[in-house]
Structure 1
Amino acid sequence: MGSKLGAAGLCFSCVATVLLAVSAATESWLRLWVLGIIIHRGLWRECQLEACTPLQGQRAYVGVSRGCLVLALVASYLSVVCGALALAPRPAPKRLDWARGAAALCFLTGTLAVVALGCFMGGSAGEAGGSWAWSLAVGWAAVPAAGHLPLPGPAEGATLAQRPERIARLGVMPPKALGPPVWPPKRSY
Structure 2
Amino acid sequence: MLYCASRPFVRRVFNAQTKLYCQPGQYWAPECFDNPPVLLESLDNKGNKDRTEERGQKRDRSVMSGVLGRMYSFMGGGLFCAGVGNILLIISTTTDYWMQYRQSNNYMHQGLWRYCVPGKCMTHTDSIAYWDATRAFMILSLLACFIGIVIGVMAFIRSSSFSGFDKTFAAGILFFISCFFVLMAMAVYTGVTVNYYGKRYGNWRFSWSYIMGWVAVVLTFFSGIFYMCAYRMHECPRNSNSR
TM > 0.5 between the two?
A: yes
Asked if structure 2 preserves the Cα contact closer than 8 Å seen for 1:110 and 1:148, the reply is: no
User: What SS does structure 2 have at the residue aligned with 1:57?
Assistant: coil
What do residues 8-65 of structure 1 show as CA deviations (whole Å, max 9, x unaligned)? 1011110110011110011000111101111111000001112011013232110100
Task: Tell me how large the CA RMSD over aligned residues is.
Answer: 2.2
What count of residue pairs does the alignment treat as equivalent? 166
Q: After TM superposition, list the pairs within 5 Å mapping 1:112-131 onto structure 2.
A: 112-125=181-194, 126-127=196-197, 128-129=200-201, 130-131=204-205
Structure with the higher fraction of residues in helix conformation: 2
- Matching residue of 2:233: 156
TM-score scaled by length of structure 1: 0.80
Cα distance in 1, alignment partners of residues 239 and 125 from structure 2: 64
More RCO (CA 8 Å, sep 6+)? 1
Asked if structure 2 preserves the Cα contact closer than 8 Å seen for 1:14 and 1:80, the reply is: yes
Q: After TM superposition, list the pairs within 5 Å mapping 1:2-151 onto structure 2.
A: 2-91=71-160, 93-125=162-194, 126-127=196-197, 128-129=200-201, 130-150=204-224, 151=227
What do residues 136-187 of structure 1 show as CA deviations (whole Å, max 9, x unaligned)? 00110010111233214555148x9xx3862897xxxxxxxxxxxxxxxxxx
Gaps of 5+ in 2: 1-69
Cα distance in 2, alignment partners of residues 31 and 23 from structure 1: 15
Gaps of 5+ in 1: 170-189
Identity %: 22
